[in-house]
Amino acid sequence: MAKSHLNMKVSGLHIYPIKSTSPISLQSGQVSKYGFDHDRRWALYGEDGQVLTGRQHPELLDIRCTLTSSNCMVYHDDVLIADLSDGETTSTQPEQVKIFSYDAYGSAVSSAIDNWFSEFIGKSCRLLKVNTAQVRPVLEKHGGRTGDVVAFSDQAPILIITEASLKDLNNRLEDPILMDRFRPNIIIKDADAFAEDNWDIVKVGSTTLRIIQQCERCVFTTIDPITKEKHENKEPLTTLSKYRKGPRGGIIFGVHAVPIDEGAISINDEVDVSSYLERPTYGS
């Protein structure tokens, strides 16, 4: 298997404090066992307890967050709609909810915020903050091991993609797209296309990560973050399906990771892959 370049570096860092909303670009970020601080620590849930995401409500991409030392400020059209204190909830009791078929646990924030979001998306909903009093493990079927945990991300706390992988895809698309379609946490430059598929243990900054699986992509990638419209030909999934279909039938782009230890990752940090795994390869 091909080894990665020796001069790989971090070129982008992104977090999404409220699931499915606009990203925050970081120069540096702290990583705990739950991934980057503040990443997917809040999410919207319907009356049935199921998560609400940009798949059904692309207007969530118009919600923008900024961070202070202890607060998350939430904006729409540059108007402040909420000031979420890092520890503030209306209950310390974990409430069991669902992220698709997966169990998750959260606590209500405030009825005023719930009312604003319900009017915004046109559906009764609540904003919950992840409640870590009840552990949500990374499942074994996704590569999780004892002690691996995740907040409100779908399956794993960190998503990694290389710039070269996107370039390879864009060379095949009629209309090139930006990396934000895939909502990564870490973007890496100076690697070969899809080199990340076979990484195992990766040192980034002062943090070590374990790659646990290749990421299967969903219809959210077909939604333009600016227009909020789905691509009429279901791109980029249609093109990716021709050469990036995994053994379970899912369309693969990027890899999921869990932190082995806590630390910090910054733009231009070196990326050192210390071990590799044989994972499925794909035709060109």
Q: Strands 158-162 and 186-189, how do they pair? A: parallel
- According to the model, what pLDDT value does residue 109 have? 93
203: domain CATH number is 2.40.33.20
3 part of a folded domain: no
Residue range 213-241: mean pLDDT, rounded: 97
pLDDT for 193-226, tens place per residue?
A: 999 999 999 999 999 999 999 999 999 999 999 9
Residue range 267-273: mean pLDDT, rounded: 98
Number of Cβ within 10 Å of residue 191's Cβ equals: 21
283 has pLDDT over 90: no
284 part of a folded domain: no
pTM: 0.95
Which is more confident, 71 or 157?
157
283 part of a folded domain: no
- According to the model, what pLDDT value does residue 7 have? 92
4 part of a folded domain: no
Domain residue limits at 30: 9-276
Q: Are 229 and 166 in contact (CB under 8 A)?
A: no
pLDDT for 33-49, tens place per residue?
A: 999 999 999 999 999 99
- According to the model, what pLDDT value does residue 249 have? 87
141 part of a folded domain: yes
Mean pLDDT computed over every residue of the chain: 94
86 part of a folded domain: yes
Question: Which strands form 125-130's sheet, in the order they lie side by side?
Answer: 51-52, 42-46, 125-130, 102-108, 95-99
pLDDT for 70-122, tens place per residue?
A: 789 999 999 999 999 755 555 668 899 999 999 999 999 999 999 999 999 99
129 part of a folded domain: yes
282 part of a folded domain: no
Q: How many domains does the chain have?
A: 1
Helix, strand counts (H, E) of the chain: 3, 19
